[in-house]
Each structure stands twice: as structure tokens, then as C-alpha cells.
Structure 1
Amino acid sequence: MEIEILGPLNVRIADRSIVPRAGKPRQLLALLALRSGHIVPIPTLMEELWGEHIPRSAQTTLQTYVLQLRRLIKTALPADSPCTPKDVLITRFGSYQLNSEPGLCDATLFQQKATAGTRAFEQGAAAEASALLGDALSLWRGPALADVPAGRILEIEMLAMDEARTRAQELRLEADLQLGRHGEILGELMILAAHHPLNENICVLLMTALHRSGHTWRALEAYQQQRATLARELGVAPSSRLQRLRQEILGAGRSEERRAA
């Protein structure tokens, strides 16, 4: 079984998709796939599908969705497979579990590569960190579970995955800055800063890349925009780190002006 979560949902057996078209069964498969290899209690599945308004028929309806998934699994299983649909989508006491081999989920691979990249970064191996984190980020095909209706539980999971993706991007970009690739990553940083206007670390990276690329005034403009956004949205001033960077860029600019004179 191959599971792809980092983008539209894609779950395949023997290269055949078992993703249902209807929203609720797709939502059910998404949560089971996200936690593949682990049991998912029926109350958790019900909360995801219906939130606080669980109907009286929820138990029967959930069993119907499971039956639909097993029919899709049966269609996808090779004729000579020793497994049955109930071996793939297992019924446990008060729970269900999607049985899959470890390492065949893109979210798991992302986490493994991102962890290795983070470790390399912390050890000062910028080139290795950039490569590992770049490999991890290449697994993303769009927003996580982009085509799945999300309830409360999936929304939390998707938020956590998005934050992990952003953190991996930050670290990879910081590693690239250490390698002197400020010109190469400038466009990516500008897009990332636009998507995360309250993230001061991204602003620091953007200001640094702009300044090193010879765009001092744009670096200072990025600071002013960040300061205005923080004041408007949170009522706070920029961090001391951001303020120190501004002063360093201003000082460097004055030094350049004196040398030019």
C-alpha cells in the first residue's frame, strides 16, 4: 500500500486507487491513512466525521463507510494476494486500523528526512542540511489532504503538518544563506514572507538575503512592513533580534555611503 497525504489524498494498492469519491468515506480513509499502522478508536472517527452533532445512526453509517472502503480494497487487491480486505482494514475492539508497511507514507518519509536535515543543521553541516530538507520538501504536492473535507481532528493534523513544512522551509533557507545562496532563494523567501506575515524568523531571513543581494532599502522596507503588521495584528513591537538586524543593516549602509564619498 502506498499512502500520499502531502497534497491530494492518494492511497493505492498494487497501483490501484482505493480513494472513494464521496466526502465522508474519503474523510474516513484520510484519518485512517494518516494514522496507518495504529488503531483509531470509533469515537475519534465519529468526532472527525460529525463533530459535536453525532447522529443516532452514526454507528451504522460508519460501518457502511468501512464496507465501502473494503469493497474498493477488494477491487484493488491482486487476484493471487493472500490478504483479504479485512486484513488491510482491520476491525479491532471498538476501533479500526489501516494496515500498511512502514515507510510507504509520504508524511512519514517527510518527517524522517526533515528530522535528519534538522540534525545536520544543528551540527553545522549546512550543505547536508539543505539537501536533506530539500528532499523532504520535494515530497509535498500541495496543501496536505487538499481534496478532503476536514473535521476537527483532521484540521489539527493538517495544521501540524503545515507548521512542520514551514519549519523545514525556514531551516533549508537558513542553510542556503549560510552557503551564500542569497540570490537564489530571494524569490522563495518573498513568497514565504507574504504567506506568513507574522513570522519574524522568515522576516530575518528575507532581510538578510535582500541586504546581501544589494537591496538594502528593500530590506529596511521589509522591516517596516513587519513592524506595522505586528503592531496591527498583535499590538507588539518587533523582537530584539529583528531590531538588531535593522541596526546592523543601517550601519552597513552608512559605512558604504562614507566609502563612496
Structure 2
Amino acid sequence: MLLVHADQVVPVSVLISELWEYEPPASALTTLQTYILNLRKMFVSATGLSAAEITKEVLVTRAGGYMIKSDSSVLDIREYNRLVSEGSSALGSGDDLTGTSRLTEALQLWRGPALVDVPLGRVLESKRRELEESWLTVTEYLVDAKLRLGMYREVLTELAALTTENPLHEGLQAQYMRALHLSGRRAQALEVFHRLRRNLIDELGLEPESQVQRTHQAILNSETNFDEDLLIARPIGGSLTASSWGRVRSY
């Protein structure tokens, strides 16, 4: 909790709520203070700094809460955000090679699902979802950049896994269709569309988005140059946003 909000004061009330949700014990404040003390001892053992230095420079007490002071270079999330920002700026300026390199480096910092080994309260669950959505958005932009660079076969294995894990995600399914078609596997690309359509109708009662249907039609026509609005729009500035189409829909 403190690390994912590094350099920000986390109020005592938020920490207690995250630990015990709606039913904190009468001893919650005392127990929290004990946790903070033990955490400081762990920092002493890990860093070799004195307890006084840890209290002053690392895990500090502020009015109403606690804060971990960090060097931005030691947190993966900071490095991840920096690389994503650089990659986004490169893609926005039309430099797909640099953008692909930076986004690939960013995703390589991941070692599995976000916060997978941490008990989650409401705040951390929200943060987990935010991180997972960021990972998926970065992945979409990276795949699109690779497709623009002609790296069709290179993305097939990744897209096969992503579309299996996200069977109703129309953006990923459309990317998989394009990659298969441009790799000379048109029949499989059409199978992906029909499977997606069945899943959407069976589970949501919906037809595929118009962009997916137009991608399907372009493949039927053996087209290799797809209209710009069938691709993810290039980012503006140093941030990536979820594509305007292709997300999982629901009633």
C-alpha cells in the first residue's frame, strides 16, 4: 500500500480500512503502529541504515499518516511509467521503431499479474485493476506498432494467447485477424472472426463492432492495406489511452 503510493502520504484511516475493511478491531491503531515499527526494522536489515535514518529518510511519519520516500530509480513502476511515456511519445511522432523498443522494455519489467502475492483491500484492488488495464493497453499499442512495421509472424504467438485469455476483447481479436491474414493465413483469420461473433452473440447478444466487421470484409476481399480507422489511433503526447473501440462490451 505504501509502496504503490510512494512519495505520497497515506492516511492512517486508509491503511486501517485497507487492512480490516469495515470492521477494524479496537486495537487497530496500535496494531498498525506495530506493523510500521516492524517494517522499519526490515528496512534497517535490508539497507544497513540506522533506525533513525529509516524513520527520517525512508518510512516517515507525517501528519495523519505515513509515507515511503523513494528514489525514483528503485521502483519498477516508475521505470515502467517512464518507458511507457517515452514509447508513447515516439509512436505519436511516427517513430514506430523507438516506440516498439521502449514499450517492449516496459512490458519486460512485469513478472506476472500485478500485486499477485499481496492481500487486497478496496484501494489495492482498484490499483491492481489500473495496472492490469495499463498492461493491456500498452500491449495493444505495441502489437499495432509491430504490425505497422511488418512484424506479422512475430506477434502471432502472443496474440494467440491474448485472444484466448480475452475471448470478447474485439480489439485484440481484430489484431489477431490482421496478423494472420498478413501472414498468409486468411482462413484462420476468418475463423477468428466467426468464433468472436459466436461468443459475442452467445454471451452478450451483440454483433461485433463495425470496425471488426469491416476488418472481416477487408480480409474477405484479400486487402492488405487497412483503413486508418481500423487501427489504433496514434497516441497524442506521452500517455496511452484505451482504444476507442475494441474493448469488452457488456449490457
Q: Given the alignment, which residue of 71, 78, 92 partners 1:122?
A: 92
- TM-score, normalising length from structure 2? 0.84
CA distance in 1, matches of 2:78, 2:30: 32
Matching residue of 1:182: 152
CA distance in 2, matches of 1:244, 1:233: 22
User: Structure 2 matches for 1:1-261, cutoff 5 A?
Assistant: 31-78=1-48, 83-252=53-222
CA distance in 2, matches of 1:217, 1:39: 55
CA distance in 1, matches of 2:50, 2:125: 38
Q: Deviations over 1:129-177 (max 9, x none)?
A: 1111001111111111221111111111011001101111111111110
Alignment-mate amino acid for residue 73 of structure 1: F
* 8 Å CA contact retained: 2:100, 2:146: yes
Alignment-mate amino acid for residue 156 of structure 1: S
CA distance in 1, matches of 2:161, 2:47: 43
* Mean CA deviation greater in 230-239 or 80-89: 80-89
Q: Secondary structure at the match of 1:211?
A: helix
* Mean CA deviation greater in 73-82 or 88-97: 73-82
Q: Secondary structure at the match of 1:97?
A: strand
CA distance in 2, matches of 1:80, 1:74: 6
CA distance in 2, matches of 1:79, 1:58: 28
CA distance in 2, matches of 1:80, 1:215: 63
Alpha-carbon deviation of 1:80? 7.5
Q: Deviations over 1:75-113 (max 9, x none)?
A: 233267982335321111110001111232111111111
CA distance in 1, matches of 2:95, 2:56: 46
* Mean CA deviation greater in 178-187 or 112-121: 112-121
* 8 Å CA contact retained: 1:145, 1:158: yes
For structure 1, list consecutive stretches of 5 or more residues without a partner in the other structure.
Answer: 1-30, 254-261
Sequence identity of aligned pairs in percent? 38
Q: Secondary structure at the match of 1:149?
A: coil
CA distance in 1, matches of 2:69, 2:49: 19
- TM-score, normalising length from structure 1? 0.81
For structure 2, list consecutive stretches of 5 or more residues without a partner in the other structure.
Answer: 224-251
Alpha-carbon deviation of 1:66? 0.8
* 8 Å CA contact retained: 1:71, 1:85: no
Q: Secondary structure at the match of 1:103?
A: helix
* 8 Å CA contact retained: 2:86, 2:102: yes
